[in-house]
Amino acid sequence: MLKVFSPAKINCFLYVTEKRDDGYHDLASLMTCLELYDEIEIKETLNEKIEVFCDHPDVPEDESNIAFKAASLFYKKLNSGKARRGNRRNSGVLIKIKKRIPVGAGLGGGSSNAASVLMALNSLNENVFPKSQLMDIALLLGADVPFFIFGSPAFARGVGEKLEKCSALLPYYILLCYPGVSASTGKVFKNIDIKLTEKRKLDIHIRLNNWLDIWNKSKSIDVAKYIHNDLENAACKLYSDILHTKEEMEFVLSKKVCMTGSGSSLFAFFVDYGKAKKAYSLLLERWDESLKEVFLTSFKI
């Protein structure tokens, strides 16, 4: 049995830069993993079956589970020809997921689980796929999945698959809140109210170039200056709980609060651990009887 820890992520900033002909959107985003994890146990078996079990009621345990899809795709690629080692016939696998990352929260929990399964199975099979090839396999499962194999904070472009390493981030304590409602990525993107006019495209271009210029010249980047999410307005209009939670957090914390991914989770940055801990305790007490979940975490650098 191999035990792995599957991290959450946040988008420190996220800009929608273009709508593509295929209906998807090109993005520019800074992503980093957090010290907030799901726990996954993986064991290859002899029954030629892929089995997934999860302790969260909203996570499916059949072939629709992305961890199941990851295992299935891994064995398909492993047995496809060149990757196969000798005449070895691959066995099935048992996957047990203990969820701590909220589901449908914009924290990449499912994508992270899929990436963790791919890396674990690769390790159990003598690292038959190099990292670059494993990332190619991961992309077939979703745009965010390769990031969790990449292994570093990254500037992401395209639909999120074009990654550039960014390791020079100033450390922060992150107060994270899941507002008790899951957001649909498809619905949020369908309802974005951003008109990509030439003026807006120029504004995005200037902001990103300014960030890239600082990134290239600086030994460390204060990401708190750049937090932004183009999807936030659409998500707040679709899900009033996100808007109300954001407004309440900003009122209580007297800090800028930003949504991550397509929602629904919200975050604020703290330099001082004592202040972060006090704010965390305050929100825990305030929302004790609600469906909201609060986490105090930090960047996984």
Question: What residues act catalytically?
Answer: 9, 144
Please name every residue paired with 157 in a beta bridge, in sequence order, or none if there are none.
28, 162
DSSP character at residue 223: G
Judge residue 102's burial from the number of C-beta atoms within 10 Å of its C-beta, 0-12 exposed, 13-18 middle, 19 or more buried.
Answer: buried
Residue type, 235: A
- Residues 6 or more apart whose CB falls under 8 angstroms from that of 242 comprise 179, 181, 183, 235, 236, 259, 263, 264, 266
CA nearest 297: which of 163, 107, 55, 41?
107
What span, in angstroms and rounded, lies between the C-alpha atoms of 274 and 11?
Answer: 24
What span, in angstroms and rounded, lies between the C-alpha atoms of 49 and 68?
Answer: 10
- Residues 6 or more apart whose CB falls under 8 angstroms from that of 262 comprise 106, 183, 184, 185, 188, 189, 231, 235
Contact 178, 58 (CB under 8 A): no
Sign of the Cα torsion 188, 144, 16, 250 reads: positive
